[in-house]
Amino acid sequence: MAGISPAEYAERRSRLQRELGDGVALIPGARPRTRSNDTEHVFRQDSDLWYLTGFPQPEAVAAFSAEEFVFFVQPRDPLMETWNGRRPGVEGAVEEYGADRAYSIEELPARLPELLRDRPRLFHSFGLDEELDRRVVETLGELRRQVRRGVGTPGEIFSPHDIVHRMRTHKSAAEVEVMRAAAEISREAHAAAGRLCRPGVWEYELEAALHQVFRSRGGSGPAYNSIVGSGDNATVLHYVENRSQLRDGQVVLIDAGVELEGYASDVTRTYPVGGRYRGEARAVYEAVLAAQQAAFDVIRPGATLKQIHDAAVRTLVEGMVELGALEGGVDELIESEDYRAFYMHSTGHFLGLDVHDVGQYSIGGEPRPLEPGMCFTVEPGLYFSADGEKTPERLRGIGVRIEDDVVMTEDGYETLTDAIPKRIDQVEAWLRE
């Protein structure tokens, strides 16, 4: 897998620069985050700066105009690099990451007036980086005090992220290739974890198997906190404690995907403990699988995520009636939203550099039609909590979700995670391999 080439990063920057006109845009990178006392979380770059540069280091700010790309980065520092790792520095920002000019991040306050002076428009998103916000406000005030001397100052402020997010919504061929590779790693990880679904095994053992594959195959780790929920834990949508012991007859909901080159895979499968789906858990699984198929049946260029959701909801409600979880007519149950006691989330979201990726879900108040290059998930589920007031006794403690990653093509779609089995016979055979 080649990943994203320097030429593609350069083309992305050029697209942004063409939209700026006579304005200037500031895109800050992420900062290190404290985990506890003097330890930090593993650094992960801001997705927008990553999209435009592929720059992996903290404390960076990119400034773009139609004419140039100016990069402020941490300078080379032998002492700090001994403690915290190598830095590209100012030289590397130009030679490796395509900047026209580069400076130490410490020079940003002094050089902001030069960048903003006589620019009628500033593209900056306030609220993302408090320190940069303060520097921008100070610089604007400084420039406005010089108006009588003929110094121009931005009169309009827009968000550059609106432009970048429009770009990120449609994936290039190279991006899709990375996401295909991420899906394959996630397939291997699910295989490793699924085959551990035996009575007496602990949820964290499955989590460890997932993460071992993620890292051994070149991923940076999980794209989000991995969910491994057995029994009633599977009915908690964002259960991440992963500390219970598997019991015979349960199902285990595993929602886990790798992050590769910054791109997320987002996959959910629900596996039987002991290798076979049994009893009510089997019936619930079949209902969710049917709902996902109904959702896939409406996917085509021009369809909307709302249409996909509505198709899944109708089939899920039909299933809930058959299971005895709901009573009444399907149309009336949908209109009343009584189904939300057991299905409370949407059926999909955009996917890319972020697990819940950027992109407008509606335009002009109407659901947005899907277009080639858009990536999204399809993830219906049913959740019968053991302590839910409306949960029938025989369904208590059963949670099932099935989730796949999809990219729209010119004439249809590709399911990136299709190689991960989900039909009952396929799953049961897969777990026996």
Residues designated as active site: 38, 238, 255, 266, 345, 349, 356, 379, 383, 401, 403
Burial of 395 (0-12, 13-18, 19+ CB in 10 A): buried
- Contact (CB, 8 A) for 204 and 241: no
Question: Residues near 137 by Cβ (< 8 Å), separated by ≥ 6?
Answer: none
Q: Which helix (H) or strand (E) holds 322?
A: helix 305-323
How many other C-beta atoms can be found within 10 angstroms of the C-beta atom of residue 85?
A: 9
- Contact (CB, 8 A) for 268 and 238: no
Instruction: Look up residue 428 and give its amino acid.
Output: E
Question: Residues near 161 by Cβ (< 8 Å), separated by ≥ 6?
Answer: 48, 125, 358
Euclidean distance between CA atoms 195 and 228, whole angstroms: 13
Euclidean distance between CA atoms 87 and 92, whole angstroms: 8
Q: 347: left (phi > 0), else alpha (psi -120 to 50), else beta? A: alpha
- Contact (CB, 8 A) for 377 and 413: no
Q: Provide, for the chain, the percentages of residues in helix, strand and coil under a 3-state DSSP scheme, each rounded to the nearest 5.
A: 40, 20, 40
Nearest to 325 by CA among 389, 238, 230, 400: 389
**Token digits of residue 106:** 């410490």
Give the DSSP letter of residue 149.
G
Instruction: Look up residue 122 and give its amino acid.
Output: L
Euclidean distance between CA atoms 181 and 76, whole angstroms: 34
Give the DSSP letter of residue 172.
-
Question: Residues near 248 by Cβ (< 8 Å), separated by ≥ 6?
Answer: 199, 273, 274
Distance (Å) of CA 330 to CA 6, 23, 272, 316: 53, 54, 29, 10
- Alpha carbon 381 to chain centroid, angstroms: 19
Question: Residues near 78 by Cβ (< 8 Å), separated by ≥ 6?
Answer: none
